[in-house]
Amino acid sequence: MACQLLNGKKGIIFGALDSKSIAWKIAERAYEQGAAFTLSNTPVALRFGEINLLSEKCHAEIIPADATSVSDLEHVFSRTMEIFGGKIDFVLHSIGMSMNVRKGREYDDLDYDYFLKTIDVSAVSFHKMLQVAKKMDAINEWGSILALTYIAAQRTLVGYNDMADAKSLLESIARSFGYIYGREKNVRINTISQSPTRTTAGGAIKGMEGLIDFTDRMSPLGNATADECADFSVVLFSDLSRKVTMQNIYHDGGFSSMAMSLKAMTQYNKSLDEDS
């Protein structure tokens, strides 16, 4: 079976850092499915990352950009359109960073310059990307734009800090711009809310291991992997999901619809036995 869901489709993938990145897996899968695309990340990330490997593997040009810079984004889109000789079909936003998390500032002791930076990098960058794309008329009719998010946008997790707020804002931007871009160009915008995933970026979140164990036992299908997220992302880029827009879809093995599973309860009860 030579199933190529993205045959002939062109795009841009923002945020692939190394082979643990979800964006990296999505790039690999999109390539397998017939897509062509450029890769973009910050100059710093490019310096430390292994993205040249991905670039070679997928025959994808790397275009450095600070995603908070409108002019950098304009360059990414114009260079991409130049490479492909026209409009593109999909964009992935997989960008998030919190200096408050990095510097260990607790949520009730935020540095506000950092907070605004978190918001600018992790959420407003998505709006900038969309506004630039629309102004340049860079996306074909029925194109698909996707951002990665996390359930912290709806439910608080200890340690996720100001990234939770940034993800809420990101999802709101997806809806707000999804309306405009949909009505005018039939472009759809969605977010995937993925299980906690061991990435280099995610490694900064405090107490990640216990959380991953818990969510795995809570989710009837277990945590979703980055590879599985890539499979589902391809679907959202494909023509099979043309009328899905302004949605946040949980790709999490069922976690979001659980309040307590047998496995997690059994494990938790062990801790109570120990106490007694």
The whole-angstrom separation of Cα 73 and Cα 56 is 22
Residue choice 73, 119, 129, 147 for contact with a second copy (CB under 8 A):
119
Report, in Å, the least distance between residue 31 CB and a second copy.
16
Region from 45-53, 72-80, 94-102, 204-212 binding a second copy, contact rule CB under 8 A: 204-212
200 binds a second copy (CB under 8 A): no
| Stretch near a second copy under the rule CB under 8 A, chosen from 1-9, 15-23, 71-79, 89-97 | 1-9
Nearest alpha-carbon partner for 75 in 119, 147, 27, 14? 14
Q: Are 82 and 56 in contact (CB under 8 A)?
A: no
The residue range among 40-48, 50-58, 71-79, 208-216 that interacts with a second copy, by the rule CB under 8 A, is 208-216
Q: Which of these ranges, 13-21, 39-47, 55-63, 233-241, lies near a second copy under the rule CB under 8 A?
A: 233-241
Q: Which of residues 149-178 bind a second copy (CB under 8 A)?
A: 151-158, 161-162, 164-165, 167-169, 171-173, 175-178
Sheet strand arrangement including 139-149: 36-40, 10-14, 88-93, 139-149, 188-194, 248-251
Check binding of 195 to a second copy (CB under 8 A): yes
104 part of the interface to a second copy, by CB under 8 A: no
Angle between helix 125-135 and 70-84 (nearest 10) = 50
Told to check if 180 binds a second copy by CB under 8 A, we report yes
Q: Cα 236 from chain centroid?
A: 13
Q: How far is the CB of 125 from a second copy (least distance, A)?
A: 10
Name the residue nearer to a second copy (CB basis): 40 or 256: 256
Shortest distance, position 61 Cβ to a second copy, whole Å: 25
* Number of C-beta neighbours around residue 177 at 10 A: 21
Residue 269 binding a second copy, by CB under 8 A: yes
Options 1, 56, 85, 276; binder of a second copy; rule CB under 8 A = 1
Task: Count residues near a second copy (CB under 8 A).
Answer: 105
> Where does residue 127 fall: left (phi above 0), alpha (psi -120 to 50 degrees), or beta otherwise?
alpha
Under 8 Å between Cβ of 254 and 264: no
268 belongs to the binding site for a second copy (CB under 8 A)? yes
Chain centroid, CA 231 distance in Å:
13
**Integer Cα distance of 237 and 28 in angstroms:** 14
Site for a second copy in 21-40 (CB under 8 A): 34
Strand, helix or coil for residue 79:
helix
User: Which of 72, 171 has the CB closer to a second copy?
Assistant: 171
The per-residue DSSP string of 11-63 comes to: EEEE---STT-HHHHHHHHHHHTT-EEEEE--HHHHHHS-HHHHHHHHT--B-
Closest CA to 102 of 233, 169, 202, 221: 202
Least Cβ distance, residue 43 to a second copy (angstroms): 21
Among 31, 90, 114, 214, the residue binding a second copy under the rule CB under 8 A is 214
Site for a second copy in 55-84 (CB under 8 A): 70
